[in-house]
Chains A and B, each alone.
Chain A
Amino acid sequence: MITINALNDVFPILIQGIKITVSVLLASIVLGYLTAFVAGFCRLSKNVILRKITGFYVEVFRGTSLIVQLFWLYYAFPILFGIEVGSNFWAGVLAISLNYGAYMSEIVRGSILSVAKGQTEAATALNMSRFQRMRLVVFPQAVRMMLPEFGNYLILMLKSTSLVSLIGMTDILYYGDILRSSNLSQAPMVYLLVLIFYFILALPLIWLTRKLEGFSKKGVASQ
């Protein structure tokens, strides 16, 4: 009985945080994939400077940890450049999407490079232009290779949204922490519930990842 009552108290409060968690996730997904494609293509560009700069970005963001990047963007960046990132929302979204964008750009690059050379050659033999070869032949196959990996990153991004509570965003975990500090004996149920919330959000992403894996099995000629 006590548990049921406590659940009644806890649930409605936690659910307030869902909106923030989901919006941070969605914004990070969009921006993260965008970053991944832009950076991935830049690293394949013929322009050396572009390649070097993007390479630097990728190595820096893959070489440091997300929580450090988040704090840096939130606390340090505004001091250094005298500009605010906008809000803690944008600091969170930027950190997550730049971090995972860097990782995923390697997937974009690797997938494009691992489309079999014969595919480009066949496209050349059909007299396609460089752009047509990429658009019609290489890229559609590379995307199929990227998809399952991209699916895995969806779940990683979901998990990482919990960090925004550390810079004061009112997400699920934030409300969980509030509840815990007001009544420590509730802590087990509160955090279990928080975990279950995240798991429920993860379920469609897990399902999607499986789907993408199935889809990507067809239609790729890799080296």
Chain B
Amino acid sequence: MNSWSWEVFFDAFPAVLEGLGITISLTIACYLFALVFGFGWTFIRRIPIKPIRWLIIWVMEFIRSTPPLVQLFFIFYAWPMVPVIGVALDPFTSAVLGLGIHYSTYIGEVYRSGIENVDSGQWEASTALNFSNRQKWTKIILPQAIPPTIPMLGNYLIIMFKEVPLASTIGVLGILSMANDYGAQYWRYLEPLTIVAILFLILSYPSAILINRLEKKMNRRFDKKTVLGRMNKGKGAVM
């Protein structure tokens, strides 16, 4: 068995790179879907009817704690077979739905922690100023709740980027699919897979650094110390 070959590397590179556009656009599509859907979760889990709220919390928990890969398969293979409501979806749309819904449950939690971190005095103040319910949200609460969550949301963009190659399993032709195809065709997996790894590193590492900076800046601005960048973690008392 022969090991590393630069020849193969340079031959495989353009082939793999062909998938980059799909990988990136799928990342963005999934991410936007999750951002919007996350809002949905945040609001419906505030419904003041207990059994419904309870049900929603468990549905979120179910989606969050089962594998996104299986959820992808469910949407791609099983959904068309569901009587009455089932429709066949192309791989790209399936991936957007599957990964989008999965990560929307995480994003919903981020929004929630942002909202819960808004001081309760702000609610009282906006009531005292006689804002309407809608105004309270749009003028007072959300403008304070969202900015501190931006670094966390940015993190999820990177996480999404790294999750997107799962979609190669249902035939989305991103970089991982391209590498696998090349591997299957020429029986050379080492170089194309290494190229995929390098592409991921090149794109995600600088973004991670950027978000880290943003987070530090935000923490300073909001005078909040988050341990390990986690939201919603109060400052422990010094004994």
Establish whether A and B are touching in the complex (CB under 8 Å).
yes
Binding site for B on A (CB under 8 A): 59-60, 62-69, 71-72, 75-76, 79-82, 106-107, 110-111, 114, 116, 118, 145, 149, 155, 158-163, 166, 173, 176-177, 180, 184-188, 190-192, 194-195, 198-199, 202, 205-206, 220-223
Q: Which of B82, B164, B196 has the most CB of A within 10 A?
A: B196
Contact among A64, A155, A162, A191 with B201 in the assembled complex (CB-CB below 8 Å): A64
Interface secondary structure of A, over-half rule: helix
Whether A206 lies near B225 (C-beta < 8 A) is no
Which residues from chain A contact B194 at a C-beta distance below 8 Å?
Answer: 72, 76
A72 to B195: give the CA distance in the assembly, Å: 10
B148-167 to A contact mask, C-beta < 8 Å, 1/0? 00000000000001111110
Q: Beyond A160-B67, A162-B70, A198-B70, is A79–B176 a contact (Cβ under 8 Å)?
A: no
A-B contact pairs, 9 of them (CB 8 A): A65-B163, A66-B162, A79-B189, A106-B228, A180-B78, A188-B86, A198-B66, A199-B65, A223-B236
B166 touches A67 (CB 8 A): yes
Contact of A184 with B62 in the complex, beta carbons under 8 Å: no
The verdict on A191 contacting B239 (CB below 8 Å), with A75-B189, A79-B190, A199-B62 known, is no
B236 touches A222 (CB 8 A): yes
In the bound complex, do residue A191 and residue B200 qualify as a contact, i.e. CB atoms below 8 Å apart?
no
Which chain A residue lies CB-closest to B230?
A149
- Whether the pair A206, B65 counts as a contact (CB closer than 8 A) is yes
Mask: chain B, 55-74; 1 = CB below 8 Å from A; 0 = not: 00000011011111111011
A194 shortest CB reach to chain B, Å: 5
Cβ 8 A contact of B65, one of A71, A145, A155: A155
- With a cutoff of 8 Å between Cβ atoms, the chain A residues found around residue B228 in the complex are 106-107, 110-111, 114, 149
- Secondary structure at the B interface, as helix, strand, loop or mixed, is helix
Whether A173 lies near B67 (C-beta < 8 A) is yes
Enumerate chain A residues within 8 angstroms of B128, measured Cβ to Cβ: none
Q: Give chain B residues whose Cβ lies under 8 Å from the Cβ of A66.
A: 162
**Complex interface: chain A residues within 8 A of B168 (CB):** 67
Q: Which residues of B contact A81 (CB under 8 A)?
A: 3
**By CB atoms of chain B within 10 A, which of A71, A155, A192 has the most?**
A71
Judged by a CB distance under 8 angstroms, whether B129 is at the interface is: no
B65 and A68: CB pair below 8 A?
no
Q: Contact: A64 with B193, CB < 8 Å? A: no
In the bound complex, residues from chain A placing their C-beta under 8 Å from that of B67 are 158-162, 173, 198
| Option from A62, A118, A177, A223 in Cβ contact (under 8 Å) with B73 | A177
Q: Smallest CB–CB gap between A88 and chain B, Å? A: 14
Since A65-B200, A180-B73, A202-B65 are in contact, a sample of 9 more A-B pairs with Cβ atoms closer than 8 Å, ordered by chain A residue number, is A59-B201, A63-B205, A71-B176, A110-B227, A110-B228, A149-B228, A159-B65, A160-B67, A221-B236
